[in-house]
């Protein structure tokens, strides 16, 4: 089979970034980030199962400024991947693929990801009292 003159995938660096392509790349990056962040979730559960002392150690790390920064990043990655994932499921049904609709849903994903992430953290601060 000749592999010589086949068309190649577009090389990212020769394209001007568009909203659609940037969201597509971010979707994958945020998915991988969510996977890495799930290690913290499992660690947190294992800490709770192992006893009060270790649980409080993990809680104090997660409550430090660095822990909160990690958790905030993880929340945004997860929420963004969820919102854009719903957009992808809609596309998989064969709907919303027109250029205008794809741009509108892309903007909606950004708005919803930011609102939901900030809303969750506002809720957490109200419950936890700083």
Partner 1 sequence: MSLRTPLGRARGLGSAKDGSSHWWAQRLTSLALVPLVLWFVFSVALMTGADHVQFLEWVQSPVVAGLLILLISVGLLHSQQGMQVVIEDYVHGEASKVLSLFLSLSIHVVLGLTGILSILMILFRG
Query: Which residues of this protein are in contact with partner 1, per CB under 8 A?
Result: 28, 31-32, 34-35, 38-39, 41-42, 45-46, 48-49, 52, 55-56, 75, 78-79, 82, 85-86, 88-89, 92, 120-121, 123-125, 127-129
**Quick one: 84 or 106, whose CB is closer to partner 1?**
84
- Distance separating alpha carbons of residues 127 and 82, to the nearest angstrom: 24
Give the nearest distance from C-beta 51 to partner 1 in angstroms: 8
Give the nearest distance from C-beta 77 to partner 1 in angstroms: 12
Give the nearest distance from C-beta 13 to partner 1 in angstroms: 16
Pick left, alpha or beta for residue 112 (phi over 0 → left; psi -120 to 50 → alpha; otherwise beta): alpha
Torsion of CA 70, 75, 78, 81, to 10 degrees: -110
């Amino acid at each position: 089979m000749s592999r010589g003159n086949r068309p190649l995938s577009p090389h990212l660096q020769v394209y001007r970034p568009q909203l659609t392509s940037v969201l597509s790349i971010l979707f994958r990056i945020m998915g991988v980030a969510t996977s890495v962040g799930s290690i913290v979730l499992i660690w947190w559960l294992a800490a709770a199962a192992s006893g009060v002392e270790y649980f409080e150690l993990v809680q104090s790390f997660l409550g430090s400024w660095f822990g909160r920064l990690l958790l905030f990043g993880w929340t945004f990655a997860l929420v963004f991947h969820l919102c854009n994932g719903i957009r992808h499921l809609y596309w998989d049904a064969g709907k919303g693929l027109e250029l205008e609709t794809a741009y509108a849903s892309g903007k909606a994903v950004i708005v919803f990801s930011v609102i939901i992430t900030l809303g969750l953290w506002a809720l957490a601060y109200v419950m936890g009292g700083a």
